[in-house]
């Protein structure tokens, strides 16, 4: 079984103190930093762009796990790579050619992630799994933080885990959306090895980030 990793989402951080918030996450034992990029078009919200990621990267030595919820995504891949993304995750519905976009990310020596929304089928990515480093399963409809976890997506996690085992593949399975102390165990048991969590990491236990990360890892 792969080591359980926590990728806190800075969507729940204090945006007036983002540099300090990232330092807190690093000291608290975060395995990577999850950065949600939204364009107000592919999803109904706007967040940060490449200049902010570039500035934040200076405060951090751990990986930036950058989730691009933008369309058309292909033409922006290079900008986010140059800004400091270590993992670039895209949605198959946001590109005209998923194969070309995967190869573009690989050509920039970045890890490739592909994300599936709650209603997106595994069939969208099944032929590309050998080229993918990470599959991100959304357990809420993307767009805003603080939404309630959708347990029905755990079936998709189990299906992916089964495919991974049968075909001897090595991609990470990440889950994002409403992850908290009540459902983290179910997500891990289903097969997820990377948990994205924002509100729980930043707000629970009076903001004790280390304690919250440890609890999500079931330590």
**pLDDT tens figures, 126-167:** 999 999 999 999 999 877 666 789 999 999 999 999 999 999
pTM beyond 0.85, yes or no: yes
Residue pair 178/42 in contact by the 8 Å Cβ criterion: no
> One of 96, 170, 176, 208 is an active-site residue; which one?
176
Q: Which residue ranges form the domains of the chain, and what is each CATH number?
A: 5-216 (3.20.20.70)
Known active-site residue 36:
yes
> One of 36, 65, 133, 172 is an active-site residue; which one?
36
Q: What is the pLDDT of residue 104?
A: 98
Per-residue pLDDT tens for 62-121?
999 999 999 999 999 999 999 999 999 999 999 999 999 999 999 999 999 999 999 999
Q: What is the pLDDT of residue 144?
A: 66
How far, in Å, are 25, 65, 129, 193 from residue 156 at the CA level?
29, 21, 14, 14
pLDDT above 90 (res 39): no
Put the strands of the sheet holding 32-38 in their side by side order: 5-8, 194-197, 172-176, 134-138, 111-116, 87-90, 63-69, 32-38
Known active-site residue 162:
no
Q: What is the pLDDT of residue 145?
A: 64
């Amino acid at each position: 079984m792969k080591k359980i990793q926590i990728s806190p989402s800075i969507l729940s951080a204090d945006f007036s103190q983002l540099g300090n918030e990232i330092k807190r996450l690093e000291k608290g034992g975060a395995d990577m930093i999850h950065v949600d990029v939204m364009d107000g078009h592919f999803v109904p919200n706007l967040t940060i762009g490449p200049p902010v990621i570039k500035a934040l990267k200076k405060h951090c030595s751990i990986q930036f796990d950058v989730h691009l919820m933008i369309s058309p995504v292909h033409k922006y891949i290079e900008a986010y790579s140059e800004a400091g993304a270590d993992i670039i995750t895209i949605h198959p519905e946001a590109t005209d050619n998923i194969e070309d976009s995967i190869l573009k990310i690989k050509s920039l020596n970045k890890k490739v992630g592909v994300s599936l929304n709650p209603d997106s089928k595994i069939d969208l990515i099944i032929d590309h799994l050998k080229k993918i480093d990470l599959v991100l399963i959304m357990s809420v409809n993307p767009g805003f933080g603080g939404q309630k976890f959708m347990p029905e997506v755990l079936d998709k996690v189990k299906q992916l885990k089964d495919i991974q085992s049968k075909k001897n593949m090595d991609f990470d399975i990440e889950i994002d959306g409403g992850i908290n102390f009540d459902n983290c165990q179910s997500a891990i048991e289903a097969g997820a090895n990377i948990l994205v969590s924002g509100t729980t990491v930043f707000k629970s236990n009076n903001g004790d980030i280390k304690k919250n990360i440890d609890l999500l890892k079931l330590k």
